[in-house]
Copies of this chain bind each other. A is one copy, B any other.
């Protein structure tokens, strides 16, 4: 299982994922479940993937391959909407190739992707691409997408994230959300990848790989646990007959 989250606020985009490492080439670099498609100053796209690893890697691999071989790719499309379409097409291509064999072996075709970023003069945008290759975009009401093991970490995001929340606050919130998920689901774990794309910079503003010894994450984990315990004890107990 994986847990990935992408959040869009006025200041830009925040991405956080858990998981394993892959190698990267060219303008495309993969950090575990997070892949960057970047031409600094012109465009920056971040792809997060979840689901059966062979399938999500096949899609990510196809998208990277097409950067050098196809006429239209994530490094050439003119809008983020077209980028989401390109991801959806790659999902459908992998489905065409693999779905029958997977079904034969009783394996579900269940990849899920978050693709977000900014291209040229367009505003930053964020999409959730489903295993059927269709996709949805964030709205003023729904500013984030989660893929993988999403429920444990959802309440804190619902409580905190608003349009005006700063990128730093969103990153903090995403790390707390990830911490709650890691505590409840053993199959989600460190190291994490945190990426931030500030609106208008057309580049990865920050990418940080977070391992167990990361000092900031430790402050967040310990501080949040202590705050929750304090908050819990500060609330009045109900009266129970003895």
The answer to whether B155 touches A184, judged by C-beta atoms less than 8 angstroms apart, is: yes
The answer to whether A237 touches B168, judged by C-beta atoms less than 8 angstroms apart, is: yes
The answer to whether B241 touches A206, judged by C-beta atoms less than 8 angstroms apart, is: yes
Docked Cα-Cα span, A100 to B160, in Å, equals 47
Docked Cα-Cα span, A237 to B174, in Å, equals 12
Which range holds the interface residue count of chain A? 35 or more
Closest CB in chain B relative to A118 CB, distance in Å: 16
- Of chain B, the residue at the smallest CB distance from A233 is B169
Q: Mark A129-160, 1 if CB is under 8 A from B, else 0.
A: 00000000000000000000001101110111
Contact of A171 among B176, B198, B240 (CB under 8 A): B240
Docked Cα-Cα span, A206 to B225, in Å, equals 30
The answer to whether B152 touches A198, judged by C-beta atoms less than 8 angstroms apart, is: no
The answer to whether A205 touches B168, judged by C-beta atoms less than 8 angstroms apart, is: no
A52 at the A/B interface (Cβ < 8 Å)? no
- Of chain B, the residue at the smallest CB distance from A185 is B151
Contact of A167 among B155, B160, B240 (CB under 8 A): B240
Q: Mark A215-233, 1 if CB is under 8 A from B, else 0.
A: 0100110011101111110
Docked Cα-Cα span, A220 to B169, in Å, equals 25
Docked Cα-Cα span, A127 to B155, in Å, equals 28
Chain B residues with Cβ below 8 Å from A154 are 152, 184
> Assuming A237-B172, A240-B196, A241-B205, is B227 touching A156 (CB within 8 A)?
no
Closest CB in chain B relative to A236 CB, distance in Å: 6
Closest CB in chain B relative to A71 CB, distance in Å: 35
Chain B residues with Cβ below 8 Å from A23 are none
Chain B residues with Cβ below 8 Å from A238 are 168, 171-172, 175, 216
A235 at the A/B interface (Cβ < 8 Å)? yes
The answer to whether B159 touches A225, judged by C-beta atoms less than 8 angstroms apart, is: yes
> Assuming A232-B173, A235-B227, is B152 touching A155 (CB within 8 A)?
yes
Chain B residues with Cβ below 8 Å from A236 are 216, 219
Contact of A240 among B198, B234, B239 (CB under 8 A): B198
- 23 A-B contact pairs sorted by A residue (CB < 8 Å): A151-B151, A156-B228, A159-B228, A160-B229, A160-B232, A166-B237, A167-B240, A168-B239, A172-B232, A176-B232, A176-B235, A198-B241, A205-B240, A205-B241, A216-B238, A223-B231, A223-B234, A224-B231, A227-B227, A227-B234, A227-B235, A228-B228, A231-B231
